[in-house]
Amino acid sequence: MNILLISPCPPDNQRHDSMSIPQLTLSLIAGMTPQEHEVKIIEEVFNEVIDFDQEVDVVGISIMTQTAIRGYEIANEFKKRGKTVVFGGIHATVLPKEAKMYGDAVVIGEAENGLWEQVLTDIKNHSLKEFYKLDKYPELDHYITPRRDLVKKTAGKFKIAPIETGRGCPYNCDFCTVPKSFGSKQRHKTIDCIIKDIENIEEQFLFFLDDNITINKKFAREMFERMIPLKKGWVGQASINIVNDKELMKLARQSGCKGLLIGFESMTDTGLNKYRKTFASFDRNVEAIKTLQDNGIMTMSSLVFGLDDDTTQVFDTANEFIQKSKSAFLQACALTPYPGTEVFDRMKQEGSILTDDWRQFDAKKVIIEPKNMTADELQAGYTEIKDKTYSFGSIMKRSLPNIFSGVTEAALYFSLNNGARKWHNSGLTAKPFRNNPDMPVDFDVTKYVQPYNNSHAK
């Protein structure tokens, strides 16, 4: 069969030359596909155009919440042409019945352990089921060769390859989809499999997709040691408490670590106490970032705005944190109640979600009415913190401890900040998004895109 795997993206989210981390999911699915089938991959985020009239038997569409509506539009076009459409991805996992309205089948959760192969077999035998799900989370000790030859591997100015060492996260943040989709216990691939994967990657730069690459310090230590001879540069996500383990921090640097994305989430006293992912005080976290800088590792700080205890003071606190620590980059996230999370369930019941247009659920747009400020106040503060952080003056002031480790580090620093500046200045996140008064927030996605089967039958 001819199989087309698609990662959809709304037009206003597509990247031209700014930083965007390539995905791994579709190349893994392609790697699981038996060789008797022909596979192609389309990633719309990189402006790749879909030919709806091409010869294809099966269309697999992987959707996140912000790409779901675009995914449903694509499915409709292929359904009109009589093609078999299978959905997967995080959004389809938490809302499988919604996804099923637009496709023939939905894969819930992960597709390893022969699940994807079973889907293809059932299609071939005309016995396709509506839903496919493993009985338990799969072990990751079987090496799958990702079909990276089928995907674009450019992020801004970098040739970069995505890679993972495991899945799952134990922190259980109430706004995060990871525990629901991948479990609250981390499962690792074997180090032999990881090293084999790295050896097969042509690119000199890697992005580790794991939510916390150093949560198992013994595992991380051995992996970093074995990575040293491979001479790859990499960035990934970790906890700030890596600074408590000097040996691990130095091994990370020796293995090629250029920077770490760290989820501080909040620098308010209540935020630090609630999420307990960082050190307990503002000053200790600032000091920790400087320790990483002294060891040649830049910090990309992730902060969430609009949490229950946030007041307008949160923006001044965040700005002070970024400027004092000279964080290499700010990932500024507007609190987004993703379906499948505790925050979504609670805010839906409270009526504090302003829109049910999934296209706006990208953590870059204000779509909620917070508890301790208005949506407009959240928007004003969110815009201001990005104005300050992504200004040329701030970028240059924060550059000093981050760019002297090498040419690659300097290029990464400016690529990250200039990409964020360009995105911010596009104006796409400059206002709160609310449904029109005559459009209820009822999470009926059919008012945005009608399923082909339903509309065709009328």
- Same domain? For 132 and 182 the reply is no
Over residues 14-34, the pLDDT tens digits come to 665 555 667 889 999 999 999
Domain boundary among 104, 138, 172: 138
Over residues 383-436, the pLDDT tens digits come to 999 999 999 999 999 998 998 878 888 988 998 898 888 888 887 788 999 999
Q: What is residue 70's predicted lDDT score, i.e. its pLDDT?
A: 97
| Domain presence at residue 445 | no
- Same domain? For 184 and 129 the reply is no
Q: What is residue 455's predicted lDDT score, i.e. its pLDDT?
A: 44
Q: What is residue 425's predicted lDDT score, i.e. its pLDDT?
A: 84
* Token duo for residue 62: 């992987």
Q: What is residue 458's predicted lDDT score, i.e. its pLDDT?
A: 34
- Same domain? For 177 and 200 the reply is yes
* CATH code, domain with 100: 3.40.50.280
| Domain presence at residue 431 | no
Average pLDDT over residues 59-80: 97
Per the prediction, the chain carries an average pLDDT of: 90
pLDDT above 60 for 240? yes
3-state secondary structure 406-418: CHHHHHHHHHHHH
Determine the Cα–Cα distance for residues 119 and 350; give it in Å rounded to an integer: 39
Determine the Cα–Cα distance for residues 284 and 261; give it in Å rounded to an integer: 17
Please report which confidence band the pLDDT of residue 457 belongs to, taking 50, 70 and 90 as the band edges. very low
- Same domain? For 366 and 244 the reply is yes
Determine the Cα–Cα distance for residues 51 and 357; give it in Å rounded to an integer: 26
Task: Give CA 87 to chain center in angstroms.
Answer: 18
Number of structural domains, the chain?
2
| Domain presence at residue 435 | no
Residue entry with tokens 């089967």? 453
More confident residue, 134 or 154: 134
Instruction: Supply the DSSP symbol for 48.
Output: P
pLDDT above 80 for 156? no
Strand order in the sheet with 205-208: 161-163, 205-208, 233-237, 257-265, 298-305, 329-334
* CATH code, domain with 187: 3.80.30.20
| Domain presence at residue 122 | yes
| Domain presence at residue 95 | yes
Over residues 169-219, the pLDDT tens digits come to 767 677 777 766 777 677 889 999 999 999 999 889 999 998 889 989 999
Q: Which domain holds residue 352?
A: 153-425
CB atoms within 10 A of CB 322: 24
Q: How far is CA 53 from CA 4, 57, 78, 85, 146, in A?
A: 12, 11, 8, 14, 27
What lies within 8 Å, CB to CB, of 126 at 6+ separation is none
Are 366 and 378 contacting, i.e. CB atoms less than 8 angstroms apart? yes
Domain boundary among 138, 165, 187: 138
Determine the Cα–Cα distance for residues 190 and 203; give it in Å rounded to an integer: 21
Over residues 344-390, the pLDDT tens digits come to 999 999 999 999 999 999 999 999 999 999 999 999 999 999 999 99
Are 160 and 207 contacting, i.e. CB atoms less than 8 angstroms apart? yes
| Domain presence at residue 443 | no
- ∠ CA 441-443-447, rounded to 5°: 90
- Same domain? For 269 and 181 the reply is yes
- Same domain? For 35 and 128 the reply is yes
Determine the Cα–Cα distance for residues 49 and 116; give it in Å rounded to an integer: 25
Residue entry with tokens 């760019």? 403
Determine the Cα–Cα distance for residues 162 and 31; give it in Å rounded to an integer: 14
Closest Cα to residue 73, out of 89, 90, 59? 59
* Token duo for residue 243: 């600074």
Closest Cα to residue 247, out of 239, 255, 235? 255
Closest Cα to residue 142, out of 169, 179, 115? 115
Helix (H/G/I), strand (E/B), else coil: 74: helix
Residues composing the chain: 458
- Same domain? For 418 and 270 the reply is yes
Please report which confidence band the pLDDT of residue 160 belongs to, taking 50, 70 and 90 as the band edges. confident
Average pLDDT over residues 286-306: 95
pLDDT above 60 for 3? yes
- Same domain? For 287 and 159 the reply is yes
- Same domain? For 110 and 196 the reply is no
CB-count burial class (<10 Å; 0-12, 13-18, 19+) for 371: middle
Closest Cα to residue 45, out of 16, 10, 14? 14
| Domain presence at residue 432 | no
* Token duo for residue 112: 């390893």
Average pLDDT over residues 275-286: 81
Are 69 and 95 contacting, i.e. CB atoms less than 8 angstroms apart? no
Q: On the CB side of 178, how many CA atoms lie within 13 Å of its CA?
A: 17
Determine the Cα–Cα distance for residues 324 and 380; give it in Å rounded to an integer: 22
Domain boundary among 71, 105, 138: 138
| Domain presence at residue 453 | no
Q: What is residue 456's predicted lDDT score, i.e. its pLDDT?
A: 45
- Same domain? For 407 and 262 the reply is yes
Cβ-defined contacts of 433-437 (< 8 Å, 24+): 433/354, 433/355, 433/357, 433/360, 433/365, 433/366, 433/367, 434/354, 434/355, 434/375, 435/354, 435/355, 435/356, 435/357
| Main-chain dihedrals φ then ψ at residue 384, nearest 5 degrees | -65, -45
Average pLDDT over residues 61-65: 97
Determine the Cα–Cα distance for residues 109 and 106; give it in Å rounded to an integer: 9
Q: What is residue 101's predicted lDDT score, i.e. its pLDDT?
A: 97
- Same domain? For 123 and 172 the reply is no
Average pLDDT over residues 34-48: 90
Burial pattern 226-251, b for ≥16 Cβ within 10 A else e, equals ebeeeebbbbbbbbbbbbeeeebbeb
Least confident of 2-16, 21-35, 146-160, 237-251: 146-160
- Same domain? For 168 and 133 the reply is no
Least confident of 165-174, 261-270, 317-326, 388-397: 165-174
CB-count burial class (<10 Å; 0-12, 13-18, 19+) for 136: exposed
Determine the Cα–Cα distance for residues 209 and 262; give it in Å rounded to an integer: 13
pLDDT above 50 for 312? yes
More confident residue, 166 or 22: 166
pTM, 2 dp? 0.92
Q: What is residue 249's predicted lDDT score, i.e. its pLDDT?
A: 95
What lies within 8 Å, CB to CB, of 127 at 6+ separation is none
Please report which confidence band the pLDDT of residue 151 belongs to, taking 50, 70 and 90 as the band edges. confident
